[in-house]
């Protein structure tokens, strides 16, 4: 592990202690509570993400010992023209969080400051998984959880945080206050009532205007148990008819559909969930009344609340242990589709997917979200008549670890083609996945809020140093 003393703006190199004595052009790095590392092992560890498609080895990695470290280093990078990105659990799949300049490893900021009925006050690097366990010990839970929960608080707040809960917004909608280091190196607290522009700029703001360092997020009372139903469909029309019936009734806590494509014979599973306390178990016949399938045909599974909401984590850990899941190439495809187009899109696309399109671990995921609960301006979802929008994901993985350029280019071309079809139907990109995008695509993606995004970028990151990996501001 090598520590750094400065930056050589001529050679554009970080300088270690031995070289610093000789380097006339060295700019002195600020004194830090944590550490700034330039050794290859530390930098290589930050050179790729969950997708294993894009690689950029940073010139240095910051392990912040305090928020002030982040502010000082952003100020320093601004002076030297060095690009900076924050890294949570690096679970985006297309280099969104990479930088050839400085990477800020937020996992070192991981204190839970307080938990109570009024909410949780947590550092950026705390995992949702940990917050779930800590809050459940007090009978509380975050109201909106991603399927997989070993993601950092700030990582999902920077992209949106879409939940299996359909009608309570995304995670960005359940934030009370944030501490942010702007691209100018200033530490600012912001909320809907104070510094609102910055608050809105960083929630689902893809790290363009500031680095989230601490968040106060909602907590609600948790039930002790969860019941998950599994209902099988062979027809897309019946799946959506039943999904809409259940969504409009609003009696369940969440639901999603999955499919392992198999041409014209693709079968779909709908998985509705309800939370309950043991003293008042749900009435299956009542909840599943009037669907295409009789309530008795649904498989039923009861689990403790925490086991249910971390079910995907268990699956992920198993795949990581048995199939080196972390090392597979994952050209994920993620778009939001309008209600009026989703059924046709699924009917057109799913039967065309081959086994290679999903890979040994992959599947298609369909997740409904209530648009009126999605309140953050830079969380881009289709702007159409119905109050529902659907996240459609193809969670592709390669058949094995290791470089496979032919597979990557084939899947990226597929993603681009499917994205254009989605956009023509009124869809938007959920920017966690791997879709080749250029500047014009971003302008279209942001639509009527593009000019405001540009204005906020210029205000909070005037030297354009933050989060270059998405290529929004080339």
Ligand X SMILES: Cc1cc2nc3c(=O)[nH]c(=O)nc-3n(C[C@H](O)[C@H](O)[C@H](O)COP(=O)(O)OP(=O)(O)OC[C@H]3O[C@@H](n4cnc5c(N)ncnc54)[C@H](O)[C@@H]3O)c2cc1C
Closest approach of Cβ 259 to ligand X, in Å?
Answer: 16
Q: Residue 348 has which token pair? A: 């057109």
Q: Please tell me the distance from the alpha carbon of residue 238 to that of residue 177, in angstroms, as a whole number.
A: 42
Q: How far is the CB of 203 from ligand X (least distance, A)?
A: 10
Kindly give the pairing relationship between strand 102-105 and strand 60-63: parallel
Phi/psi for 190 (5° steps) reads: -145, 155
Which of left, alpha, beta for 207 (phi over 0: left; psi -120 to 50: alpha)?
A: left
Q: Minimum CB separation from ligand X for residue 411, in Å?
A: 16
What minimum distance in Å lies between the beta carbon of 85 and ligand X? 4
106 lies in the site for ligand X, by CB under 6 A: yes
| CA separation for the pair 185, 152 (Å, rounded) | 22
Q: Residue 143 Cβ, how far from ligand X at the closest point, in Å?
A: 14
Q: Is 101 in the site for ligand X (CB under 6 A)?
A: no
Shortest distance (Å) from residue 320 CB to ligand X: 10
Of residues 91, 216, 227, 414, which one binds ligand X by CB under 6 A? 91
* Contact status: 207 vs ligand X (CB under 6 A): yes
Residues of 123-152 as b/e, b for ≥16 C-beta within 10 angstroms? bbbbbbbbbbeebbeeebbbbbbbbbbbbb
Cα separation, 187 vs 67, in Å, equals: 8
In 289-412, which ranges are E strands? 299-304, 333-338, 364-370, 388-394
User: Does the protein bind ligand X through residue 206 (CB under 6 A)?
Assistant: yes
Size (the chain), residues: 474
Query: Using CB under 6 A, which of the segments 84-92, 246-254, 284-292, 451-459 binds ligand X?
Result: 84-92
- Shortest separation between residue 264's beta carbon and ligand X, angstroms: 29
Residue 97 interacts with ligand X (CB under 6 A)? yes
Restricting to residues 276-335, name those near ligand X by CB under 6 A: 316
Q: Which of 90, 168, 216, 227 binds ligand X (CB under 6 A)?
A: 90
Burial of 454 (0-12, 13-18, 19+ CB in 10 A): middle
> What is the pairing mode between strands 84-87 and 102-105?
parallel
119 lies in the binding site for ligand X (CB under 6 A): no
Does the footprint of ligand X cover residue 58 (CB under 6 A)? no
Site string for ligand X, 131-170 (x = CB under 6 A): ---------------xxx--xx-xxx-xxxxx--------
Cβ–Cβ < 8 Å for 252, 274: yes
Count of residues that bind ligand X according to CB under 6 A: 35
Report the interface residues with ligand X, using CB under 6 A: 49-50, 85-92, 96-97, 106, 124, 146-148, 151-152, 154-156, 158-162, 206-207, 211-212, 316, 432, 467, 469
């Amino acid at each position: 592990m090598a520590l750094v003393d400065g930056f050589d703006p001529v050679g554009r190199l970080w300088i270690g202690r031995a070289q610093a004595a000789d380097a006339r052009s060295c700019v002195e790095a600020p004194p830090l509570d944590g550490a700034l590392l330039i050794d290859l092992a530390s930098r290589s560890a930050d050179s790729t993400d969950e997708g294993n498609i894009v690689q950029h080895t940073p010139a240095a990695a910051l392990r912040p010992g305090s928020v002030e470290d982040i502010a000082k280093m952003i100020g320093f990078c601004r002076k030297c023209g060095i690009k900076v990105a924050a890294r949570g659990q690096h679970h985006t799949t297309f280099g969104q969080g990479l930088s050839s300049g400085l990477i800020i490893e937020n996992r070192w900021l991981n204190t839970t400051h307080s938990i109570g009925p009024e909410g949780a006050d947590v550092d950026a690097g705390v995992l949702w998984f940990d917050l779930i366990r800590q809050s459940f010990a007090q009978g509380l839970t975050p109201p909106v959880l991603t399927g997989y929960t070993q993601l950092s608080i700030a990582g999902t707040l920077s992209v949106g945080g879409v939940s299996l809960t359909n009608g309570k917004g995304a995670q960005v909608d359940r934030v009370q206050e944030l501490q942010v280091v702007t691209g100018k190196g200033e530490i600012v607290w912001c909320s809907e009532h104070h510094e609102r522009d910055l608050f809105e700029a960083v929630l689902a703001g893809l790290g363009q205007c500031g680095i989230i360092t601490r968040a106060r997020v909602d907590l609600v009372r948790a039930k002790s148990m969860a019941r998950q139903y599994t209902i099988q469909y062979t027809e897309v029309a019946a799946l959506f008819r039943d999904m809409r019936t259940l969504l409009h009734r609003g009696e369940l806590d969440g639901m999603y559909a999955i499919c392992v494509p198999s041409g014209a014979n693709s079968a779909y599973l709908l998985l509705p969930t309800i939370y309950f306390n043991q003293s008042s178990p749900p009435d299956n016949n009542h909840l599943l009344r009037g669907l295409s399938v009789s309530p008795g045909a649904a498989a039923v599974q009861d689990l403790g609340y925490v086991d249910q909401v971390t079910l995907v984590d268990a699956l992920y850990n198993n795949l990581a242990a048995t199939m080196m899941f972390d090392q597979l190439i994952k050209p994920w495809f993620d778009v939001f589709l309008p209600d009026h187009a989703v059924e046709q899109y699924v009917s057109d696309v799913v039967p065309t997917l081959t086994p290679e399109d999903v890979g040994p671990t992959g599947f298609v995921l369909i997740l409904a979200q209530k648009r009126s609960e999605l309140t953050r301006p830079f969380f881009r979802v289709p702007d159409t008549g119905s109050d529902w929008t659907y996240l459609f994901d193809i969670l592709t993985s390669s058949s094995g670890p290791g470089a496979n350029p032919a597979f990557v280019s084939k899947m990226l071309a597929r993603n681009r083609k499917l994205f254009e079809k989605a956009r023509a139907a009124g869809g938007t990109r959920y920017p966690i996945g791997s879709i080749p995008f250029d500047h014009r695509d971003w302008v279209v993606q942001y639509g009527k809020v593009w000019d405001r995004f540009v204005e906020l970028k210029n205000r909070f990151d005037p030297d354009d140093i933050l989060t270059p990996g998405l290529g929004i501001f080339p």
